[in-house]
Structure 1
Amino acid sequence: MLSRIPILNCLRAQVGGQASQNVALLRSFSSSPSVQASRKQKHKPRRSYRDLYAADYRKKANIARQEVLKKERSELAGDPVKGRPTPFLESLDTGKEPEVEVQDAPYFRQGARGDWQKKVYLSSYVREDELEEVLNKSPEKSHMLIRKLNEAWQDDNAGVKPVRGSFETDEAYEAEVRRRQELRAPLNRIHDEEARTLVKKRITKDHDTAKESLRRILQLENASHKDIFHSNVLRCIDKFGRHHTDKILKPPPNLKDQKAEPRPYARGGPDTGSSEVQIAILTAKIQRLSRIDQEGQLRKDKANKRNLTLLVHRRQKLMKYLYRKEKGGPRWQHLVDTLGLGDAMWKGEISL
């Protein structure tokens, strides 16, 4: 049998370069390529049962640790709907102001208290100070009524005047009128005092009854959920509106370096359109719907479930905007600490 090398040499000499390219395509007489033949087949070492058990244990430990970290992060971020419990957040259920505490937060001005403008709201958009003012004015009107009644009683009971035609002269008629007035003067005085006392007692009793009735009617304990929500809206406007927070919160850091703070523009009334107020009002609505959902009343109420989702995402947009504008300033910290808002309410994706 001829070897392969002399044959290849003869072909190169006769044909030249073109034959050399064709010869390169020829396979060797080996059953497998030379490159594959040179490689050695590598076998993975068989793992022992001890190694398999250790790997499985490490995998389970890693998964358990991931679950613990996920739970800790979720607790730190808070619930995306309810948030952390705070006194103001808990007071939304009753509509009344929580217990007053001195504000020692660093974002408040020195000597500023959060309760300096405290207003207790009742149902039907009535404040307690307005009710007291009206009730204190009513006794004055009652006394005026008593005086008018006394004057009218004196005029009616002054005595029956004599007939003028029965007297011959005017002097005799006037003398008879003076005589009858002198006779009835003590009786008029006695009746005047008795009437005044009786009318005073009656009016005072009616006034006390009316006061107690008004207080019971306007109490939030006897009000509907709609009246409680209106009271919460007014409280949110008074607490987070910039007509109030401009006086108690410190200026932003970029204004501290200036010699004088810019004078705030004159407001036409209470601030109802700022992001802080809108976030607080949305939180009051979310608190109501979440409590109903917790009681199980929203189990088949698809419409209110959708409304709750829309409110949560609307609050998330406003919180992102406020954080971007304030950059964690005093207004942001005051809002977050008062309402108990967490990172889960505005960071990332919220799914209910």
Structure 2
Amino acid sequence: MLRSRFSQCSRIVASTSAAPLTACLHTSAALQATSARRRKQVVAEKKIAERRIEKQRLEELNRPHVVLGSRPGDDAKWSNCDLAKVLISEEQISSAPKPTVDPSGQLLLPEILNFGVGATEKEMLFETLPTLSAEFKTERAPVYKMQEEAVKAEAQELHKASTLATLLDLRNANAGGIAFANRQRIVAAFSEPGKPNDTGRPEVQAALVTYTIRKLWDHLSRMKKDVASRRNLRRLVHQRAKILKYLKRIDRDRYENVLQRLGLEPESVEGELVV
């Protein structure tokens, strides 16, 4: 029993004598301690990182749309550009006046006829042919009825011309007919004055591609699961950028002018484009 008491006392003495030694050798507080200079440096680095993230966020918000080419909230850039003014929409076609005959007997034709009917065809269908038909009918009539037949023939030809104009009105065309008319207007507006139908001109090609991109974007805003159209949209965006970069290499002034006419920002066609 005495031996057990001695062993307990020795363990107590050993434990109490080792406690101060371990306390002196403990270094966790020293490791956690940092200088005031280092703390200031850490705070400054955090602020710099926060400012960098905020700057990147603002740049992303102000970056022009890759497809539409304008900055967020800047819808006036598209509505005021030359391409938007050239295009005609279905609403404008439906609100346009229908072909009518005025009280003086003059046929009022619609502003735009269906695709395939240009200025030459319009003159032939509504001026030349009615006049020739009325003269032919008058010449075949007896002499004493020539004046009466002439008036009758003119009224008949005017009625025929009015019916034909109603049929050839662009409001009777489908989406393909309206797109064809818009492409004709784009080619005429963006060609050189001396070359009215120069479809190989870079400005004309960029305008036609931009028009197709706008149509696809409107379609995808309604049909979000159309994967094939989304792939075509991505291809057209890069094709437009390729055309405009080529124009930038050969003539910087023409490049800047066509960007303004198409309502595009330079950032929407330069650099990496993620669609």
Q: TM-score range by the shorter chain?
A: 0.5 to 0.7
Taking a change above 3 Å as real, the CA distance of residues 221 and 90 of structure 1, as seen in their structure-2 partners, is farther
Give CA-to-partner distance per residue, 1:116-154, whole Å, 9 cap, x none: xxxx65322212564145311133213322333314xx7
Counterpart of 2:54, as a letter, is A
Instruction: Tell me how far apart the structure 2 counterparts of residues 290 and 234 of structure 1 sit (CA, whole Å).
Output: 21
Quick one: structure 1 residues 58 and 332, their matched pair in 2 at CA, closer, same or farther if it must change by over 3 Å?
A: closer
Q: Secondary structure at the match of 2:115?
A: coil
* Distance in 1 (alpha carbons) for counterparts of 2:256 and 2:45: 47
Residue identity over aligned pairs, in percent, reads 24
**What residue is the counterpart of 1:280 in the other structure?**
207
2:113 corresponds to which letter in structure 1? L
**207, 226, 232: which is aligned to 2:182?**
232
- 1:208 maps to 158
1:237 touches 1:271 (CA, 8 Å); kept in 2? yes
Q: 1:92-135 CA distances to partner (integer Å, 9 max, x unpaired)?
A: 352889xxxxxxxxxxxxxxxxxxxxxx6532221256414531
**Aligned-residue offset at 1:41:** 8.2
Q: Deviations over 1:189-247 (max 9, x none)?
A: 4xx26xx42x44543333233222232333333321211221222222222223x2xx6
Instruction: Report the Cα distance in structure 1 between the residues aligned to 2:260 and 2:44, rounded to whole angstroms.
Output: 47
Conserved 8 A contact 1:237-1:277: yes
Query: Secondary structure at 2:126's aligned position in 1?
Result: helix
Structure 1 match to 2:61: 71
Say whether the 8 Å CA contact 1:80–1:342 is kept in structure 2.
no
* 1:341 corresponds to: 264
Q: Which sections of structure 1, spanning at least 5 residues, go unmatched?
A: 1-39, 98-119, 155-188, 248-266
Deviation at residue 318 of structure 1 after TM alignment:
0.7
SS at match of 2:271: coil
CA radius of gyration, larger in: 1
Give the counterpart letter for 1:305 in structure 2.
Answer: R
Which position in structure 2 is the counterpart of 1:308? 233
In the alignment, structure 2 segments of 5+ residues that lack a partner are: 1-29, 70-76, 94-110
Q: Retained in 1: the 8 A contact 2:191–2:204?
A: yes
Q: How many residues align?
A: 218
The 2-side partners of 1:301 and 1:69 are apart by 30
C-alpha RMSD of matched pairs (Å):
3.6
More helix as a share of residues: 2
Moved over 6 A (4+): 49-58
Instruction: State how far apart, in whole Å, the 2-side matches of 1:134 and 1:150 are.
Output: 24
